[in-house]
Structure 1
Amino acid sequence: MIAGTMALLSRPAADPLEDYRAVGFTTLDVRDTFGYLDDKQVQQGRVASLVDAEQEEIHIVDGSIETERIPEREQVWTEWIADVDDGGWFVAEQTRGTNPTFPFETIRARTNRDVDRVQFDVPQFVRNQRDADDRNWDVWMAGRKQAADSDYEVDHTNIAYGDNATKKDAIQSEIGIGFETTWRGRVATGVLYQSGYVAIHNSSWTPEQFARFVDEELLPVAFVPETDDKSEQATLEGGEEA
């Protein structure tokens, strides 16, 4: 299985990733490089770093229980797969921290590019499978939001599995889907979430096949969501919003 959370570089890096060991703990380990789509390269490896964390300490004082959050630095690592110099994308098996910071801050430092977690337009991915001439596709999970009955209630989440998940549901699945589709003569079984997480469950898939699937099927439906800071800046530059 190849899986993780995807991020996009602000623009492709000048060069592929290289092994790196900081004076401290941060390490980038490039384990393999493969060619795909003629002149492109996909790499995979591991990355380790330190992230801000908190440790809860419990104190017993005169029979009373008190708790305290103590800041600390935690060691973390993850597997990754990426094409940073042509495709401009990076997929981390695990992420940590706010936004999240790990491992994307490490990649930002090594490429000198902004690295932002993406979101996927899941309904558009479904429509693309439906409209392609060579696809035999189906869904086995469909997650969508259901509007609350009033402004005082939170939206409901509706997730259908197996036979209860339909193609009609999938086209409205903002949250995510479990899918099976034929692609370039092979079957792709996996999940895709709006949050930016993708997994291909087929154990026979190679890094090159995954990279090509990213290039042809995922990048067209991936986007960097506008942050509050960017939205505020756009408002200031363009005048007050109506």
Structure 2
Amino acid sequence: MHDATFFLTHEEARDPEIPSSLDGEYPAVDAEGQTYLDGNTVHFGTAADLVEERAEDVAVDDTEISTGRKKVLVPRAIDFYADVSTDPGFIGVSSASDGEWFVKRVAAQTGVTVKETRIDVDAFAEYIREQTETADAWNVSHSRDFGGPKEKTTIDYHDAADLASARNGTIGLGFEYMWNDAFVEGVIYESGYVANYSDGLLEEGFAQWVREEVLPFLEIDVDDEETSEQTELPEDEQDRAEVAATDGGADAE
């Protein structure tokens, strides 16, 4: 499986190359590139740095036990996928929180502007419906806003999931269809999170699939106040989606 939360990039890069940086120190980047027939290059690999987190701090003396929170630097590694050779382009990281430094690093190195992103899931669903007769959905998630704090989310799995219903406010889609003579299966969420569960799909294949199939549906959320706080699929929902892809699922609302 390959997955990432994606950010949209704009402006022409000074140099679209993402070089490796391995000298035994943080931050570290182990990058590979794949150049396609049109001359564009997709980069992918692993990056690591010390990420600031807050840890519990406990102090014991003769009279009391006191607790608090302190800042600590913890080594974290992320997988990444990026193509800034086009305008727009994309940068994807397997953990948005741990990979924020890498997104900023690529932006600074290449001279592109990075924007928070949403995915038009309705448009993606319409695209695969029109492109292939083999397209199907195994997870369709909708959200309806009734005003104020009232919001209802529904998730239909497998037999209850209908690709034709993925319209008018779809926030998540579990999909399967043929792409480049290969069967692809995964999930795509409005928040910018994408996963592909297809067996045998290498990193460069996932990056190419994102470039060709997902990039056209990345959009900038122009109203920062309304930007979704979900920068990556919650762990429990990701587990549910992965189980549903193979073993079945349940409806939720």
Q: TM-score range by the shorter chain?
A: 0.7 to 0.9
Contact 2:144 2:169 in 1 (8 A): no
Q: Which amino acid aligns with 1:138?
A: D
> 3-state SS of the aligned residue for 2:215?
helix
Report the Cα distance in structure 1 between the residues aligned to 2:188 and 2:215, rounded to whole angstroms.
Answer: 12
Report the Cα distance in structure 1 between the residues aligned to 2:165 and 2:201, rounded to whole angstroms.
Answer: 28
Report the Cα distance in structure 1 between the residues aligned to 2:148 and 2:118, rounded to whole angstroms.
Answer: 27
Report the Cα distance in structure 1 between the residues aligned to 2:86 and 2:107, rounded to whole angstroms.
Answer: 16
RMSD: 2.8
2:163 paired with 1:161: no
Contact 1:95 1:103 in 2 (8 A): no
How big is the shift at 1:58?
Answer: 3.6
Report the Cα distance in structure 1 between the residues aligned to 2:3 and 2:210, rounded to whole angstroms.
Answer: 12
> 3-state SS of the aligned residue for 2:138?
strand
> What residue is the counterpart of 1:36 in the other structure?
36
Q: 1:144 to 1:223 in 2, by over 3 A?
A: same
> What residue is the counterpart of 2:248 in the other structure?
none
2:13 paired with 1:13: yes
Contact 1:41 1:86 in 2 (8 A): no
> What residue is the counterpart of 1:213 in the other structure?
209
Larger Rg: 1
How big is the shift at 1:62?
Answer: 7.8
Deviates more, 1:60-69 or 1:10-19: 60-69
> What residue is the counterpart of 2:49 in the other structure?
49
Q: Which amino acid aligns with 1:29?
A: D
Q: 1:204 aligns with which of 197, 200, 204?
A: 200
Deviations 1:145-203 (A, max 9, x none): 1333xx45431211111111122432245321100012232211011011111111112
Structure 1 gaps of 5+ residues are: 230-242
Contact 1:192 1:198 in 2 (8 A): yes
Using structure 1 for the length normalisation, give the TM-score.
Answer: 0.80
Report the Cα distance in structure 2 between the residues aligned to 1:175 and 1:217, rounded to whole angstroms.
Answer: 17
Deviates more, 1:43-52 or 1:83-92: 83-92
> What residue is the counterpart of 1:105 in the other structure?
104
Report the Cα distance in structure 1 between the residues aligned to 2:221 and 2:30, rounded to whole angstroms.
Answer: 29
> What residue is the counterpart of 1:116 in the other structure?
115
- Structure 1 consecutive aligned stretches of length 4 or more whose deviation exceeds 4 Å: 21-24, 59-66
> What residue is the counterpart of 1:240 in the other structure?
none
How big is the shift at 1:43?
Answer: 1.9
Q: Which amino acid aligns with 1:89?
A: F
How big is the shift at 1:115?
Answer: 2.1
Q: 1:160 to 1:202 in 2, by over 3 A?
A: same
Deviates more, 1:1-10 or 1:82-91: 82-91
How big is the shift at 1:214?
Answer: 2.3
Structure 2 gaps of 5+ residues are: 226-253
Contact 2:44 2:204 in 1 (8 A): no
2:163 paired with 1:180: no
Deviations 1:36-86 (A, max 9, x none): 243222222111122222112245678866431112222211111222223
Report the Cα distance in structure 2 between the residues aligned to 1:200 and 1:165, rounded to whole angstroms.
Answer: 18
Report the Cα distance in structure 2 between the residues aligned to 1:40 and 1:207, rounded to whole angstroms.
Answer: 16
Report the Cα distance in structure 2 between the residues aligned to 1:65 and 1:169, rounded to whole angstroms.
Answer: 56
Contact 1:42 1:207 in 2 (8 A): no
Report the Cα distance in structure 1 between the residues aligned to 2:24 and 2:125, rounded to whole angstroms.
Answer: 46
Question: Alignment identity in percent?
Answer: 27
Report the Cα distance in structure 1 between the residues aligned to 2:197 and 2:171, rounded to whole angstroms.
Answer: 19
